[in-house]
Amino acid sequence: MTSEVDQAETASGGPDAPNGRPAPGAPRRVKPIRRVDRVIIRFAGDSGDGMQLTGDRFTSETASFGNDLSTLPNFPAEIRAPQGTLPGVSSFQLHFADHDILTPGDAPNVLVAMNPAALKANLPDLPKGAEIIVDTDEFTKRALAKVGYAADPLGDGSLDGFHLHKVPLTTLTLEALKESGLARKDAERAKNMFALGLLSWMYHRPTKGTESFLRTKFAKKPAIAEANVLAFKAGWNFGETTEDFAVSYEVPPAKLPPGTYRNISGNLALSYGLIAASQRSGLPLFLGSYPITPASDILHELSKHKNFGVRTFQAEDEIAGIGAALGAAFGGSLGVTTTSGPGVALKSETIGLAVSLELPLLVVDIQRGGPSTGLPTKTEQADLLQAMFGRNGEAPVPIVAPATPAECFEAALEAARIAVTYRTPVLLLSDGYLANGSEPWRIPQVAELPVIEPDFATGPNTPEGEFWPYKRDPQTLARPWAVPGTAGLEHRIGGIEKQDGTGNISYDPANHDLMVRTRQAKVDGIEVRPIEVDDPDGEAEVLVIGWGSTYGPITAAVRRVRADGGKVAQAHLRNLNPFPANLGTVLGSYDKVIVPEMNLGQLALLLRAKYLVDAQSYNQVRGLPFKAAQLADVLWAAIGTLDGSDDDE
Amino acid sequence: MSEFRSLSLVPKADALQSAKDFKTDQEVRWCPGCGDYAILAAVQSFMPELGIRRENTVFVSGIGCSSRFPYYMNTYGVHSIHGRAPAIATGLAATRRDLSVWVVTGDGDALSIGGNHLIHALRRNVNLKILLFNNRIYGLTKGQYSPTSEVGKITKSTPMGSLDAPFNPVSLALGAEATFVARTLDSDRKHLTSVLRAAAEHQGTALVEIYQNCNIFNDGAFDALKDPAGADRALIRLEHGQPITFADQGVFRDPASGELTVAQVTETNQADVLVHDAHAASPVTAFALSRLADNDTLHHTPIGVLRSVERPVYDTLMADQLATAVEQHGAGELADLLSGKDTWTVV
């Protein structure tokens, strides 16, 4: 937290009072209020404690308040991991601020720990001085022993450097709900809402949204709905009355560029991008998919929008998912398949077929930790080389990678543009962090969105009045897309090598050589935006370049370095195949190129191979995003090395 | 519009078509004497009967000898990858109800590498007509045993005989909730055509197993069913509503066990001969019929339509849901979708 402004003893509004104005009927605040410019909160508990829901609600409150924000949900693959254990801990981190921020934050200012496991698992991430709120009811001997605490950390002095709030959350929740008539077990489950209420008080979040959310969510169980609302309010009131919480904090709304905003996660933005691509191309959307974490939410979301003509097909396996999408594409739909790394492996042969058939197809890979099943719920960006090369034969596929959750929207449109214009499968590489993380999104005007022109073949394309399915557009090298039902254009295509032009089966050596080179040239020639370099005064000697979800932490690190007087240039790749035409020049303009990736150096390998540049990797594969401070150190080290070499001269 | 109910949404041809209209200029490259030629000729001759526009017909295949089929049909066609034709055709048929979609596959393609897609296409009841050419051998890879080969089959990959029990494709399809299952022979043009007609009329997925001779790697596999002297005692020709008899034999149901048995028809038992009901709601009797054949001798092999029942078609249901969604929520408005419910404005 920086630039704290004490507003001690200033009476301010209650729960519905953004901007410090009391909401009508809201209780008056009687405690000191401190203004801060940003806060990082982490909710942690058992995977059955509802931490993701709690985090989502706090995020929604924060978004509607107008802060900039970034989130990091982090949960185990097991739906209900053994209770009270370290592997069962689920957490949700939220960073919100009165200014533009880029990451969910390195170190929480506040940790809410619902049990000893949550405390133990998250304590190493806390800086000294952080606030810790624990549910003391859960700190039983048995629970402590389960996670290997020999002594109670709440009493042994080990938390001395922190600001510890010992709150009997369970007891207080039960107390608040004793009139509700709910069974103890049901009442206990509302303790996450008590915690949310308390945090909502601490940070002046609007509360109406959560109340109406709870009433809608539990519409069929009004007693549960009211109990949750009651627990939520009790949490708020507890903050206001108990002496343990001496101050509350205010984070004013952020000054974002003008526009209408909403909060959006990567998977939601991607789903909307696909629908937008369908609308802007006039191609009906067909999704063939098999459930897989962390991609399933796109299947769920698109299934809700059948009134947009969206067809979703839950296939028998990954192969059928992409097969059906390709079949739909042959029939003139915008064919899409969504999956994660293991699914891409299964789909490889069909992607190769799509390369050979030269039909538009979107393959969305929400990357997760690998290899094999790996870390299903954790993030990684180690599928780049699979996307690039993971097929038999020379099978080039364009690759698009969004950098932020909101950017998933544009990425879907960009992938669709390339697929349709160039008649090719396109890989869209998102990841678990983008998929589940969220941020404010300036909602675009529909008219601003690009139009995608399918340009279906309508008649013969040779002087003799024949139709040749592989007669290409000389500019784009795209072949005609002739859909069944078009008279006179009946044709057969397949995975066997085809004669240039006619598309008839051909085993001719020279023809195969030509076709392999032509397919490559088509992908190489795809028009993509030049890469932009952020180098404010043009004096940097170090360039840091990344792709995908590392954008946030890299940019935050660059800001830190610059704030401390360091000079560093930054560039971020959205198109990974083909690379932007100016990339070689950009790389060649700096003495040192640093490539941070959540893999073992896959982009760095490509850059070194293609541009003969001594790109230096910085890698982490922990299933979690980089921290800004960590990358800032890397950048300082790179700058320092250059300084050192200057000294030698 | 076509007279075939299953093709009611497919535009009708302007003029009468002939088999010639369905031939391409591509040289047919099956081995001389292959049973595939007879099937191709039968299909090309049959297609005009559908009375639909050629450009609204699509043949989709996988990999194998039979899967070259689309190249020889002057319609739209996709020669895809091994085993995946039913999946690809599902996406096409589900999005284009104005098309007549046919899948051509073989015993290896459909039952081995693509087994999963086949059974799921059958249970979904997508509007697809699947022609499964069964020659009980791998031809294109030059003669390994297939999932329909008899146990003990000596091939290049099984010099001491194959070990695994074969699939009976008709039994498999019935077990996979297929709504239409039939079997026919490559060499019996008339019967083959009648089965194609019944399949084309069916609304939903139709599986047609076609016994097909591979004269290079498994020659004579179905001779027992083709031998003019003995075929009438080996083949059971099923016709809906007719007693199931062949030569002087008939099919009876054992009242005690419910099993089907074959016995000589006499004056005393002729009233007890089982009457074939292809439309029976339960697949039990059709399954029992499919088990009558002896795997080695092929005696008592039923051909014809074993099962043909009505069940809602997947692509129709999918289209109905889209229409219902529009009725309930109105046609989607992109701007409203993007805005959602919780927005805030920065000025």
Task: Write the burial class of residue A107 (CB in 10 Å: 0-12 exposed, 13-18 middle, 19+ buried).
Answer: middle
- State the average pLDDT over residues A74-88: 88
Q: What percent of chain A has pLDDT over 90?
A: 90
Q: What is the pLDDT of residues B24-39, one digit of tens each?
A: 999 999 999 999 999 9
- Indicate yes or no: CB of B70 within 8 angstroms of CB of A263: no
- Indicate yes or no: CB of B79 within 8 angstroms of CB of A305: no
- Beta strand pairing call for A33-35 and A5-7: antiparallel
Confidence grade of residue B293 (pLDDT, cut at 50, 70, 90): very high
Find the closest chain B residue to A490 by CA distance.
B76
More confident of the two residues B228 and A28: B228
What are the chain A neighbours of B63 within 8 Å (beta carbons)? 495
Strands of A472-604, DSSP E: 492-494, 533-534, 542-547, 569-573, 575-577, 592-597
What are the chain A neighbours of B53 within 8 Å (beta carbons)? 485, 487
Asked if A196 contacts A232 with a C-beta cutoff of 8 angstroms, the reply is yes
pLDDT value, residue A642: 64
- Beta strand pairing call for B76-79 and A492-494: parallel
- Indicate yes or no: CB of A323 within 8 angstroms of CB of B77: no
**A305 pLDDT higher than 60:** yes
pLDDT value, residue A13: 35
Q: What percent of chain B has pLDDT over 90?
A: 94
What are the chain A neighbours of B117 within 8 Å (beta carbons)? 316, 319-320, 323
Q: Which residues contact B239 (CB under 8 A, 6 or more apart)?
A: B276, B304
Distances (CA, A) of A35 to A1, A106, A249, B37: 10, 21, 6, 84
Confidence grade of residue A21 (pLDDT, cut at 50, 70, 90): very low
- State the average pLDDT over residues A5-24: 36
A285 touches chain B (CB under 8 A): no
- State the average pLDDT over residues B171-188: 98
What are the chain A neighbours of B81 within 8 Å (beta carbons)? 349-350, 352-353, 495
Three-point CA angle A75, A76, A77, nearest 5°? 125
**B184 pLDDT higher than 80:** yes
According to DSSP, the residues that pair with A7 across neighbouring strands are: A33
Confidence grade of residue B342 (pLDDT, cut at 50, 70, 90): confident
Instruction: Give the C-alpha separation, A91 to A147, whole Å.
Output: 17
Least CB-CB distance to A328: which of B56, B59, B92?
B92
More confident of the two residues B233 and A547: A547
What are the chain A neighbours of B80 within 8 Å (beta carbons)? 323, 326, 353, 494-495
Phi, psi of B183 (to 5 degrees): -135, 145
- Beta strand pairing call for A89-97 and A68-74: antiparallel
Instruction: Give the global pTM.
Output: 0.93
> If you average pLDDT over every residue of chain B, what do you get?
96
Residue the block writes with tokens 């709304």:
A253
- Indicate yes or no: CB of A307 within 8 angstroms of CB of B347: no
Q: Which of B344, B345, B347 to mutate to test the interface with A (most CBs of A within 10 A)?
A: B344
Confidence grade of residue A246 (pLDDT, cut at 50, 70, 90): confident
Confidence grade of residue B341 (pLDDT, cut at 50, 70, 90): confident
The pair of three-digit structure tokens given for residue A20, joined into one six-digit string: 């410090």
Q: What is the pLDDT of residues A602-649, one digit of tens each?
A: 999 999 999 999 999 999 999 999 999 999 999 999 999 665 444 333
What are the chain B neighbours of A286 within 8 Å (beta carbons)? 91, 94-95
Find the closest chain B residue to A492 by CA distance.
B77
> Side by side, which strands form the sheet with A399-400?
A311-314, A285-289, A334-339, A361-367, A425-431, A399-400, A575-577
**B14 pLDDT higher than 70:** yes
pLDDT value, residue A48: 87
What are the chain B neighbours of A311 within 8 Å (beta carbons)? 94-95, 318, 322
Confidence grade of residue B346 (pLDDT, cut at 50, 70, 90): confident
Least CB-CB distance to B87: which of A255, A262, A319?
A319
Q: What is the pLDDT of residues A133-173, one digit of tens each?
A: 999 999 999 999 999 999 999 999 999 999 999 999 999 99
A161 touches chain B (CB under 8 A): no
Find the closest chain A residue to B116 by CA distance.
A316
- State the average pLDDT over residues A585-600: 98
Asked if A141 contacts A590 with a C-beta cutoff of 8 angstroms, the reply is no
Least CB-CB distance to B91: which of A279, A325, A494?
A325
Confidence grade of residue A1 (pLDDT, cut at 50, 70, 90): very low
Q: Which of A99, A490, A499 to mutate to test the interface with B (most CBs of B within 10 A)?
A: A490
Residue closest to A286 by CA, chosen among A296, A299, A297, A295: A299
Least CB-CB distance to B318: which of A275, A311, A327?
A311
**Cβ pairs bridging A and B (under 8 Å):** 208
Confidence grade of residue B98 (pLDDT, cut at 50, 70, 90): very high
* CA distance, residue A524 to nearest chain B CA (Å): 25
Q: Which of B109, B334, B336 to mutate to test the interface with A (most CBs of A within 10 A)?
A: B334
Chain A 255-274, residues with CB within 8 Å of chain B CB atoms: 255-263, 272
- State the average pLDDT over residues A485-508: 97
Identity of residue A554? I
- Indicate yes or no: CB of A328 within 8 angstroms of CB of B94: yes
- Indicate yes or no: CB of A486 within 8 angstroms of CB of B325: no
> If you average pLDDT over every residue of chain A, what do you get?
93
What are the helix and strand counts (H, E) for chain B? 11, 12
Least CB-CB distance to B75: which of A311, A323, A490?
A490
Confidence grade of residue B107 (pLDDT, cut at 50, 70, 90): very high
- Indicate yes or no: CB of B343 within 8 angstroms of CB of A332: no
pLDDT value, residue A127: 96
Confidence grade of residue A19 (pLDDT, cut at 50, 70, 90): very low
Helical spans, DSSP H, in chain B:
35-50, 85-95, 107-108, 115-124, 169-175, 189-201, 223-226, 231-234, 284-290, 314-329, 334-339
Chain A 468-487, residues with CB within 8 Å of chain B CB atoms: 484-487
Checking ipTM against 0.95, whether it exceeds it is: yes
* CA distance, residue B8 to nearest chain A CA (Å): 15
The pair of three-digit structure tokens given for residue A46, joined into one six-digit string: 């058992």
A313 touches chain B (CB under 8 A): yes
pLDDT value, residue A27: 54
pLDDT value, residue A8: 30
- Indicate yes or no: CB of A490 within 8 angstroms of CB of B74: yes
The pair of three-digit structure tokens given for residue A590, joined into one six-digit string: 């700096």
Q: What is the pLDDT of residues B48-77, one digit of tens each?
A: 999 999 999 999 999 999 999 999 999 999
pLDDT value, residue B5: 86
* CA distance, residue B143 to nearest chain A CA (Å): 21
Q: What is the pLDDT of residues A356-403, one digit of tens each?
A: 999 999 999 999 999 999 999 999 999 999 999 999 999 999 999 999
**B347 pLDDT higher than 70:** yes
What are the chain B neighbours of A262 within 8 Å (beta carbons)? 339-340, 342-344
Q: What percent of chain A has pLDDT over 70?
A: 94
Tell me the three state secondary structure of residue A372.
Answer: coil
A331 touches chain B (CB under 8 A): yes
